[in-house]
Amino acid sequence: MKKKIIIALLLSIIIIVTAVGIFSLQQFTASTPAIPSDFTATEISSTRINLTWMKGKNADTTYIERNNVSAWRRGEGTPIYNDTGKHYQDIVPHHSQYYYQAWSWNQTEHAYSAMVATSNTSAVANQPPIFGFQSPINSSTDTPLRFSWSISISDPEGNPFSWTIQCSNRQVTSGTSAANGTKTILLHDLANTTSYMVRVNATDPTGSGLYTRRWYLFTTTSNQTTNNKPPLFGTPSPANGSTGNLLSLTWSIPINDPEGNTYAWTIQCSNRQVTGGTSQTNGTKTLTLSSLSSATTYKIWVNATDLIGSGLYTRRWYTFTTKTTQTNNTPPMFGTPSPTNGSTGNPLSLTWNIPISDLEGNTFTWTIQCNGQTNSATGASNGTKTLTLSGLSNATSYKVWVNATDPTGSGLYTRKWYTFTTKTNLPPVFGEPTPANRSTAQPLNVLWSIPITDPDGDVFSWMIQCNNGQSNSSTNGTNGTKSLALSGLTHSTSYTVWVNATDLMGSGLYTRRWYTFATRTNSPPVFGTPSPADSSTNNPLNLTWSIPINDTEGDPFSWSIECRNGQTANGTNAANGIKALNLSDLAYSTTYKIWVNATDPTGSHLNMRRWYTFTTIINQAPSPPTITGSDKGHVRVATEYNFTSLDPENNSVYYFIDWGDGTNSSWIGPYLSGEIVTQSHTWSKRGAYSIQAKAKDIYGNESDWATLDVTMPFSYNIPFPSFWQRFFERFPHAFPILRYLMRY
């Protein structure tokens, strides 16, 4: 029996050794790792691309490069990943096409996979504007009859866009080159218990005309009365019920809409004469009446309708009675002329006028004559008659003859003459110059000007001359401001300007004056308040530092801004405005000094120099890692645990893992903040262990420790010859079943 057991053991050993030899040969011929499988790149935002894959056989890590070309050799692209995971988020610039290649790496054999896995994608393309919250919300009810309807519109890429909001009641508003924000339309004069549709369009010209269009509904309240009122009538002229009115007259009445809406109106007389208008505004409306009968009562109907107020209207009627015709017809009558009879100091061009009226309202002929100039008419009605006079002489008395004849009254007429005297000719008059006389601190280029007016309206010649030799002049000048453009003046200098104006029509009457002004003293450029403010704290690591620089005289200047970290910006021949320096890659918790210089070459190199400081934000440590995984396991069996930490500044983080058995991972990473990192570990002995982990950001700021207690209760005390131990260490993937039975 004992002999049979020995033979069986020998046969078993022979079988195992043979199998080991075969497996060893396979292992030596297949040590090169296989390429990663299912390698894909998927865009998840305009700056983030998600990479996923399955780790290749015999691979310890996966190595990934990125490039802008479709094919390249390993080492020619940008390395972005080399670790044991199966996914990674790549942060890329905006709107670009990217290509990815992935290789497997075997640490034991120091070998890459013979082939490469490839994938490509692009960042998210330009998108149309997006509509957000509406107020009131879509399909809302019980809305008032007057309110502002609004909607949030934003472009994902921040491009300017055009937009239109239009309501089904035909009210509309719009904008172009608009920025993200809330857009509104004021709706008014809505009807009760009515559904309205609001159409919204937003178009991104930068995105090749990409647009978004939507429509929304709302229903008005059923219990709100409109504030719109119909038009109102004032007191008519002639007054309602008045008597003794002329046979030809203008009947009028004020019509006003309380809301200022336009309206349609009609005035109609019982003699069938009528007038009216549409889209009218507030004011007095009139109807000219003629050929009325004496001693007759007439009725006037007035209507005014507010179309915007859903047809609200006001209607009234009024009466007036004409006068009784006298037995003996009277001739036309003259009122008071303008200018008044015997007046003096009148201009050389004027409109002479006089009211003429016939008491019976008969039409008449009239004539006004003066200085050979005349005006006349036949079939005229009551009113003011005029004669336009021009080319009159100064200090001259003129006589005006007026005649008015009533043919209906058998040629009855009225004739009168009136006088007026023109004014004496005066020389041109000067107003206040600009800049003011004896003014100081004037620029080196100035438009010197002065109003010149001839009291008689005569044309005149004028000249403006400065003692620097510059001048300007004209003949046949008319009333107005005359100017001289001065340039190339000298700082801190007093100048004299001579002005002459001569009235050629006034026998050479003239006015002469001289004025002075002084130029300003040149000053160096001045600085405004910087941004960020001087001595400010908690600033970001990438910022634009700026400061307003202005030259008081408007001279071009050179400027420079320099930070102590060596970054600079400068310019020459610069105009007034804000100057900036873009700063990047600053250090946390650091105070930086900014030197600013601005030099005015025109001002004999006058310069202004200042320095300012600011301090960057304090870096905060990432959170203690969260450790997840089984709290029980098997000795000599790899167990996976997940680790994740959040960094307040969203910096990438490293992890240090102490497995509690005297081994650790050292610092691994970096990984994205919040990314789940999976690591495995094998304990060789039973017992209780404490897994401890901490994180640090890329600036070395470390978190507190996190702990997970685990136990390894299961193992078998199987004799384990050093041969098998060395064998399994040499071939870590050989005979998984045998390894399991032997607990290695």
Q: In this structure, is the dihedral angle defined by the CA atoms of residues 391, 394, 396 and 401, taken in order, positive or negative?
A: positive
641-668 pLDDT, tens digit per residue, is 999 999 998 999 999 999 999 999 999 9
Report the top-level CATH class of 429-519.
mainly beta
Residue 52 has pLDDT above 50, yes or no: yes
Residue 29 has pLDDT above 50, yes or no: no
Residue 125 has what pLDDT?
A: 64
518-529 pLDDT, tens digit per residue, is 998 888 999 999
Q: What is the mean pLDDT of residues 219-244?
A: 84
Write out the two tokens for 599. Answer: 């030099």
Distances from the Cα of 201 to the Cαs of 177, 185, 204, in angstroms? 14, 13, 10
Superfamily of domain 626-715: Immunoglobulins (2.60.40.10)
Q: What is the mean pLDDT of residues 438-455?
A: 93
Q: What is the mean pLDDT of residues 534-553?
A: 93
Residue 96 has what pLDDT?
A: 65
Concatenate the DSSP letters of all residues of 325-388 into one string: PPSS----EE---BSPTTEEEE-SSEEEEEEEE-TT---EEEEEEETTEEEEEEEE-SEEEEEE
pLDDT interval class at 176 (50, 70, 90): very high
Superfamily of domain 37-122: Immunoglobulins (2.60.40.10)
Distances from the Cα of 229 to the Cαs of 232, 257, 259, 339, in angstroms? 9, 7, 7, 46
Residue 17 has what pLDDT?
A: 46
Tell me what percent of the residues of the chain surpass a pLDDT of 70: 88
The CATH-assigned architecture of domain 526-616 is Sandwich (2.60)
In the sheet with 677-681, reading across from the earlier edge strand, the strands are 626-628, 639-644, 677-681
What's the distance, Cα to Cα, between the start and end of the chain in Å? 32
**What mean pLDDT is reported for the chain?**
87
- Calpha distance 116→94 (Å, rounded): 27
Residue 144 has what pLDDT?
A: 85
Neighbours of 658 (CB within 10 A): 17
Residue 28 has what pLDDT?
A: 40
Neighbours of 300 (CB within 10 A): 22
Q: Where are the beta strands (DSSP E) in 145-269?
A: 147-154, 161-167, 172-178, 181-187, 195-204, 210-220, 232-233, 242-245, 249-256, 263-269
HSE-up (13 A, CA, CB side) for residue 170: 2
pLDDT interval class at 24 (50, 70, 90): very low
Task: Answer with the residue of higher pLDDT: 86 or 467.
Answer: 467
Torsion angle (degrees, nearest 10) of CA 289, 291, 294, 298:
-40
Residue 744 has pLDDT above 60, yes or no: no
Residue 97 has pLDDT above 50, yes or no: yes
- Calpha distance 318→301 (Å, rounded): 7
601-621 pLDDT, tens digit per residue, is 877 688 999 999 999 998 899
Strands 606-616 and 536-539: parallel
Specify the CATH number for 333-422; select among 3.40.50.1000, 2.60.120.10, 2.30.42.10, 2.60.40.2550: 2.60.40.2550
Residue 9 has pLDDT above 70, yes or no: no
- Calpha distance 6→111 (Å, rounded): 44
Distances from the Cα of 257 to the Cαs of 227, 274, 276, in angstroms? 12, 22, 16
Q: In this structure, is the dihedral angle defined by the CA atoms of residues 391, 395, 396 and 398, taken in order, positive or negative?
A: positive
Residue 465 has what pLDDT?
A: 96
Task: Burial-class residue 553 by CB neighbours within 10 Å (0-12, 13-18, 19+).
Answer: buried
Task: Burial-class residue 530 by CB neighbours within 10 Å (0-12, 13-18, 19+).
Answer: buried
Write out the two tokens for 219. Answer: 């229903």
Residue 3 has what pLDDT?
A: 55
Strands 350-357 and 383-389: antiparallel
- Calpha distance 593→596 (Å, rounded): 10
394-435 pLDDT, tens digit per residue, is 889 999 999 999 887 667 889 999 999 998 888 999 999 999
Residue 22 has pLDDT above 60, yes or no: no
Whether 728 contacts 737, CB under 8 Å: no
- Tell me the fold of 130-220: Immunoglobulin-like (2.60.40)
567-585 pLDDT, tens digit per residue, is 999 999 999 999 999 999 9
To the question of pTM greater than 0.75 for the whole model, the response is no
Residue 1 has pLDDT above 60, yes or no: no
Residue 229 has what pLDDT?
A: 82
Residue 208 has what pLDDT?
A: 65
Residue 25 has what pLDDT?
A: 40
pLDDT interval class at 20 (50, 70, 90): very low
Hey, where are the domains in the chain? Answer: 1-30, 37-122, 130-220, 232-322, 333-422, 429-519, 526-616, 626-715
Amino acid at 203: T
CB contact set of 26 (below 8 Å; sequence gap of 6+): none
3-state secondary structure 456-487: CCCCEEEEEEECCCCEEEEEEECCEEEEEEEC
Residue 684 has pLDDT above 60, yes or no: yes
The CATH-assigned architecture of domain 232-322 is Sandwich (2.60)
Residue 277 has what pLDDT?
A: 92
Q: Is 728 helix (H, G, I), strand (E, B) or coil?
A: helix
The residue assigned the tokens 């008015």 is 404
Segment among 134-143, 162-171, 630-639, 710-719 with least mean pLDDT: 710-719
Residue 23 has what pLDDT?
A: 45
320-377 pLDDT, tens digit per residue, is 998 876 546 788 999 999 999 999 989 888 999 999 998 878 899 999 999 999 999 9
Whether 645 contacts 657, CB under 8 Å: no
Write out the two tokens for 615. Answer: 């301090």
Concatenate the DSSP letters of all residues of 5-61 into one string: HHHHHHHHHHHHHHHHHHHHHHHHHT-SPPPPEEEEEEE-SSSEEEEEEEPPTT-SE
Concatenate the DSSP letters of all residues of 506-518 into one string: GTTEEEEEEEEEE
Q: Is 504 helix (H, G, I), strand (E, B) or coil?
A: helix
Residue 717 has pLDDT above 50, yes or no: no
